[in-house]
Amino acid sequence: MSVEAIHLGAPREPELWTVESVQAVAGKGLEGDRHFHADRAPSGQALTLVAAEIVEEVGLRPGESRRQLTVRDVDVNSLVGKRFRVGEVECFGVELCEPCRHLEKMTRPEIIRELTHRAGINADILVGGVIRVGDPVVEL
């Protein structure tokens, strides 16, 4: 159960880039990401996670799911409503992160149907720190 990839995006840029580590800031998000909030992030908008197995099953490349963290051997949906740790960062799973029309435009038709209820989760960052590729994901 670990982080396989970290993807960040720049404002108004369609491409995401892959990093080996990122600073997660409690209540704000991932530093350097387009969704980082200078003030407090609305609930569920600080961090997104998706299972690598689902990404592979639907034939997407790493990062194409538009989620920040791709994790392996983690039942991501089961983290909704629970506290969990990603490396040293403590999080709370807020809700499922359903696929949208933007994802469909960036990938292919039918991806919404393929990923419904399987596209990952939105989470809050409760305690900040560094997230690294290879970090364990553990329910608390």
Residue 48: give its domain's CATH number: 2.40.33.20
Number of domains in the chain: 1
The 10s digit of each residue's pLDDT in 35-93 is 898 889 889 999 999 999 999 999 998 888 889 999 999 999 999 999 999 999 999 99
| C-alpha span between 77 and 49 (Å, rounded) | 9
Give the gyration radius of the chain's Cα atoms: 14
87 CB-side CA count, 13 A = 20
- What does the pLDDT read at residue 12? 67
Question: Which sign, positive or negative, has the C-alpha torsion 37, 23, 98, 75?
Answer: negative
Question: Bigger pLDDT: 94 or 65?
Answer: 94
Whether residue 16 contacts residue 103, with contact meaning beta carbons closer than 8 Å, is answered with no
Position of tokens 């609305």?
Answer: 42
- What does the pLDDT read at residue 15? 76
Reading the block at residue 83, the tokens are: 């506290």
Residue 136's DSSP bridge partners are: 2
pLDDT > 70 in the chain, percent: 97
- What does the pLDDT read at residue 110? 92
Residue-wise burial string across 61-82, b where 16 or more C-beta atoms lie within 10 A, e elsewhere: eebbbbbbbbbeebebeebbee
Mean pLDDT rounded to a whole number for the chain: 93
Is the pLDDT score of 14 beyond 90? no
The domain containing residue 116 runs over which residues? Answer: 2-139
- What does the pLDDT read at residue 118? 96
Whether residue 77 contacts residue 111, with contact meaning beta carbons closer than 8 Å, is answered with no
Q: Of 42, 44, 45, 126, which Cα lies nearest the Cα of 85?
A: 126
Sequence-ordered list of residues with C-beta below 8 angstroms from that of 42, at least 6 positions apart, any chain: none
